[in-house]
Amino acid sequence: MKLRGVIAGVMLVPSVAMAWPWSTDMMNQPNIKPQEGTMAPFPTRSIPIQGLGPLVANREETREMVNPISATAESVKEGRVLYKIYCATCHGTTGNPADAPVGGKIGAIALNDDYVQQTMSEGWIWGTITFGSYVMPSYGVPRAREDSRGSNDLSVEERWHVVNYIKHGMVKDHAARTAAAK
């Protein structure tokens, strides 16, 4: 009988111990849940995980830049996906703004023509994506906004993938689409 009482007492000890205040301290502390409230701006001089990328002040300084990412099939494929998300609305799915819902109305340039393909450097195209142009918004300079944030920002590497697609995949896609339409 005495042994049963001791066993019952020992079995109750863990449940009693778990009822003490220290069992809920972590749960009932002040905290901020993800996506709750407004996001605080990044601290000044903080560096994004993908690095700062080239430190250039404007589009003119990008003219002589060389693409550090080789135009592999994977890079062109990644660039194609990003292009269709960010660029196709104005420049068309294969670089022809006449095929785009917005491109003809705002005067977007054809990215599949000889001027872009043979005259524009990869650095200039990267700079245009980064800093924007007359009508085109910036897709890489969050510092242009007061709060240092941007909803359409592409990382440095993503912008180079888009350049690889424009220079090494777009003309092929346009030719294939034109041939399929005939």
Cα 159 from Cα 105, distance rounded (Å): 25
List the one residue out of 72, 76, 62 whose CA is nearest residue 163: 76
Domain boundaries, the chain: 59-181
Alpha carbon separation from 38 to 33, 83, 167 (Å, rounded): 11, 30, 39
The pLDDT tens digits for 89-116 are 999 888 888 888 887 778 888 898 899 9
Four-residue CA torsion sign, 168, 170, 176, 179: negative
Residue 10, pLDDT score: 64
**Mean pLDDT to the nearest integer, 121-147:** 79
As a whole number, the mean pLDDT across the chain is 79
Residue 51, pLDDT score: 62
Answer yes or no: are the C-beta atoms of 129 and 119 closer than 8 Å. no
**Mean pLDDT to the nearest integer, 54-79:** 89
Confidence of residue 48 (pLDDT cuts 50, 70, 90): low
Measured N-to-C along each axis, helices 170-181 and 156-168 cross at an angle, to the nearest 10 degrees, of 50
The string of DSSP letters for the chain reads: -HHHHHHHHHHHHHHHHTTSGGGSTTTTS----TT-SPPPPPPTT---TT------SSGGGGTT---SS---HHHHHHHHHHHHHHTHHHH-TTS-GGGSTTHHHHTPPPTTSHIIIIIS-HHHHHHHHHH--SSSPPSS-GGGSTTS--TTPPPHHHHHHHHHHHHHTHHHHHHHHHHHH-
Q: Is the pTM of this model over 0.75?
A: no
Domain covering 59-181, topology: Cytochrome Bc1 Complex; Chain D, domain 2 (1.10.760)
